[in-house]
Structure 1
Amino acid sequence: MFQRKRRRPVAEINVVPYIDVMLVLLIIFMVTAPLITAGVNVDLPKAEANPLAEDSKPPIVVSVNSDYEYFVTDGSSKDGPMSPGDLAALVGAYIKVEPDRPVMVEGDATVTYDVVVNLMVLLQKQGVESVGLMTDPVEE
């Protein structure tokens, strides 16, 4: 009579579905990455001020939050909490590379005035000639 041939099981893994999933994940990350902003949660004081010109270089933002932690945000990257001396040295290194880059201080509204002034003095000692203060616009 007829004898059936036994089929051997396929011992290969089909990787095409895995590649499809990886490409979809890559596209998702490429779309969402520009939407993620690196920053520090700071409650800025409110004041009337003119914004930076759009054609200027992105500023180096020095932040002090309500817990008196210091941060530096350089366009896209944010450095973790650091001491005021380390912060000033890091900003000084940025300024030596790009001397005409603006530096902005983002101080929380609850931070005392002397902390912001001392930070500005440290930045001045590192060669920062001009420092701007960031504020939120006044709501009418």
Structure 2
Amino acid sequence: MAVTATGRRIRKRKLKAEINVVPYIDVMLVLLIIFMVTTPLLNLGTDIKLPDSKAMALSTPKEPIVVSIYADGAYALMAQGPDSNKSVTGTQLQDELGAIHRNNPEATVLVRGDRSATYQALMAGIDRINAAGISRISLISQPAGTVQQ
């Protein structure tokens, strides 16, 4: 340490190595609000209450063909993208899936069955998919413990 003419010591200030986190917290809160506002807008498709399951997730095809089966036994087909969901009858479903199968024999159909639909309604829908020639069928379920709107 240095000494002055009067014999007093001069203290050098130690540098503080701190990070000011207040601006980071502000940015985080803004991002949180943005995500909270935009998340409900991302819900595409139809409202179906899926059954719970503890099964592991499988890989999803690039362009999935999704057949929705409602509680009243009605069908909806989503084949050309997320915005192409349309209601169809049983014979229309079978005809359209048959055309898809002729173009792509390796096509996989994902079945979204409403949790209040009867087992018979789900099996009738799966039978129609099989009758169209498609044998690769997977069921979609909601992961156990998640809240569904």
TM-score normalised by L of structure 2: 0.62
- Looking at structure 2, the residues matched to 92 and 79 of structure 1 have their Cα atoms a distance apart, in angstroms, of 18
Match of 1:47 among 46, 53, 59: 53
| Correspondence for 1:57 | 62
- The alignment covers a number of residue pairs equal to 106
| Correspondence for 1:81 | 87
Matching of residue 68 in structure 1 with residue 50 in structure 2: no
| Correspondence for 2:131 | 125
Give the C-alpha shift of residue 65 in structure 1. Answer: 2.1
Matching of residue 114 in structure 1 with residue 120 in structure 2: yes
SS of the equivalent of 1:51 reads: coil
* Structure 2, unaligned runs of 5 or more: 1-37
Runs of 4+ off more than 3 Å: 35-38
Q: RMSD value over aligned CA atoms?
A: 2.2
Q: Deviations over 1:30-79 (max 9, x none)?
A: xx9xx76641110000011222325x333200001234321011233424
* Structure 1, unaligned runs of 5 or more: 1-31
TM-score normalised by L of structure 1: 0.66
Larger Rg: 2
Identity of aligned residues (%): 27
